[in-house]
Chains A and B, each alone.
Chain A
Amino acid sequence: MSLSEFYSSLGESLDEVLDRLRMESRIMKYLRLFLEDPSFNELKEAFESKDAKTAFRAAHTLKGVAANLGLNKLSNTSSDLTEDLRPGVFTDKSQALLEKVEADYIAAVEGIKQLE
């Protein structure tokens, strides 16, 4: 899969990211680094250990990282979760919001793994 196909498959636009980050090779490098970023795992663990503050921070980080890479869907669902957790406690919506983040995260990760 090419970089452009990857972004299209997620319903995103490579051009928008290229405008900001200039070079395909660099975008490629950052997407590979994204696979190593622990934020999503930290988010899951924080939910399991009922640590809403850490969950907020991880969601906030994920939102920023995804936005920079043009993974806007993931950034938006992370943003919804960030706002939900901002007061520092879990709400009855938190779990459902996490599931949306997870779906977008897995779609992105699967796509990155198939990049040439």
Chain B
Amino acid sequence: MDETRPLILIVDDVALNRALLSDVLCDKYNILEAKNGNEALLLLREKTSEISLVLLDMVMPQKDGMEVLSIMNKNGWINEIPVIMISVETSHSLIEGAYSLGVTDFIGRPFDEMVLMNRVNNTIRLYAKQKQLSNLVLSQIYEKTRNNSMMVTMLSHIVEFRNGESGLHVLHINTITEMLLRELLCRSNKYAINRDDIGIISTASSMHDIGKITIPDAILNKPGKLTPEEFNIIKGHSLNGAQMLNSVPFGKDEPLMKHAYEICRWHHERYDGRGYPDGLKGDEIPIAAQIVSIADVYDALTSERCYKKAYTHEKALEMIHNNECGVFNPLLLECLDAISSRFVVSLQTFDWGKQADKDFFYIADSMMKDKAHPIYNQTFRQFINERKKSHFFESMLDDLLFEYSYTPAVIRFSSMASQKLGLPRTISEKDDKLALGANAENWEKIQSVVHQHPALSNDPIQTEVTLTVDGKSTPCKVMLLQIWENSPDKKSTLASVYGHIDILH
């Protein structure tokens, strides 16, 4: 098959109708055929970014054309894959219904092959041009974001370097800030921040200590105890940092600048009002500064400094809870507890390249959701999900893995998993359970594991279940990674779950 030719998916329950279409089109296009709506959806999920056009019959057994269209809407596919509906249907309201579900064109039967061919050509050309443009825009943004993110990282490393701290401090604060923000957004909508701010605030967190470049070396890196006067000079770094940002002649209204200013100035305030420089109290302290403040304290405690040794993770949490290093917002302490077991791992496996990708994901993600000028790009959306998936799978090759998707409800096992669990490589939720024989119970258990975690999480979830492995009942640990997608009504829905099964002996 010539891979450079556009791929057309023909969906019709009648073999004769499929032959009629594919005969006309196969000279110029690659053809995929589906006998019903369910088959079509499986192919659409598998080859979303490859299919250039769908020719869809309206009346079919199982899932009909209209149902296929509404799922294509739900998954956002309709924005990128044009659909031409072909039917003998003459009912005005049904045809109008198809248009309102986003079909590009409606061709009645009997059709003229020349007209069909031209409509297909035109539709594919138009969509190819649109896709090319959005790829161009996104790849330029990708380059820019990587460079910007590298720039911020380099500058903040310079500050770190002078402080005699390892460059990791900034990266750790980035990670902890991001995780705290995510957790906070799941728990409360009290603060005027949303998902789009996560990337900006964690980037801004890199700037928290820039004011330290105004502090003389002799004081900044003094190994012994500081005198009260010296300590006062050090305290000046928060206000100095804020003033440095304030004197930047442009960008005052940019969210990055605004958050960086808040963070520089107020990351040493205390929730009880006894911090510096302004003695702000409670939520008078902007939430971005409150979060960076906790991240800063945690990382300072668990790192070695010229004046102290590193504390353990547990000891650091205990000291934070006992108000030994400041007083914090109780809600943020709850968030810290909720994520603390996860961020030990996150901090150890930190990778700058992934961080730059992440910044890009935030931008691409918010562009694709932009109400006024949405960019539809399934390739990039898949790229984002693939990255998440491969980061998760990297360390677990040759293991018992599975991939579960919601629409259509299908699970795929790695060959090892399929072998050990005695299940076929691919199972659809619609399949007859009896056909799976003795191991149907394994499938039922995995189904319930996949469905039991409806809470939105971007980090792997761990659970335990007893499965029949090689015919023997065996306790297993299952790690799950959920992939969430935003539907048009802004609600997050689960799109897929990736899983890893670990046999406990």
Contact = CB atoms under 8 A, between A and B. Distances in A.
A64 B113 contact: no
Contact of A68 (B13, B15, B17, B59): B17
Interface stretch (A33-41, A94-102, A108-116): A33-41
A64 B88 contact: yes
Nearest to A36: B15
How large, as a class, is the contact surface on chain A?
Answer: 20 to 34
Contacts of B284: none
A65 to B, nearest CB: 6
A79 B90 CA distance: 10
Contacts of A54: 61
B110 A60 contact: no
B113 A20 contact: yes
Contacts of A57: 59-61
Q: Is the interface of A mostly helix, strand, loop or mixed?
A: helix
B112 A19 contact: yes
A43 to B, nearest CB: 13
B274 to A, nearest CB: 74
Contacts of A29: 19
A59 to B, nearest CB: 10
Given A20-B110, A20-B113, A57-B59, A64 B23 contact: no
B92 interface: no
Interface string A19-56: 11110001001100110110100000000000000100
B13 A64 contact: no
Contact of A33 (B15, B59, B61, B89): B15
Interface in A56-93: 57, 60-61, 63-65, 67-70, 75, 79
Given A26-B23, A60-B88, A61-B59, A67 B16 contact: no
A38 to B, nearest CB: 9
A65 B59 contact: no
B14 A61 contact: yes
B352 interface: no
Contact of B14 (A20, A22, A39): A39
A26 B19 CA distance: 10
A69 B110 CA distance: 8
A21 B23 CA distance: 10
A61 B60 CA distance: 8
A70 to B, nearest CB: 7
B110 A67 contact: yes
B455 interface: no
B14 A65 contact: yes
A65 B17 CA distance: 7
Complex A-B, nearest 9 residue pairs according to Cβ-Cβ distance, in ascending order? A64-B88, A67-B110, A33-B16, A64-B109, A68-B110, A20-B112, A60-B59, A67-B109, A63-B88
23 contacts: A20-B112, A26-B23, A30-B19, A33-B16, A34-B16, A37-B14, A37-B16, A54-B61, A57-B61, A60-B88, A61-B13, A61-B14, A63-B88, A64-B87, A65-B17, A67-B109, A67-B110, A68-B17, A68-B20, A68-B109, A68-B110, A68-B111, A70-B110
Interface of A: 19-22, 26, 29-30, 33-34, 36-37, 39, 54, 57, 60-61, 63-65, 67-70, 75, 79
Given A34-B16, A36-B16, A79-B88, 20 more contacts: A21-B20, A26-B23, A29-B19, A30-B19, A36-B15, A37-B14, A54-B61, A57-B59, A61-B13, A61-B59, A63-B88, A65-B14, A67-B110, A68-B16, A68-B20, A68-B109, A68-B110, A68-B111, A69-B110, A75-B88
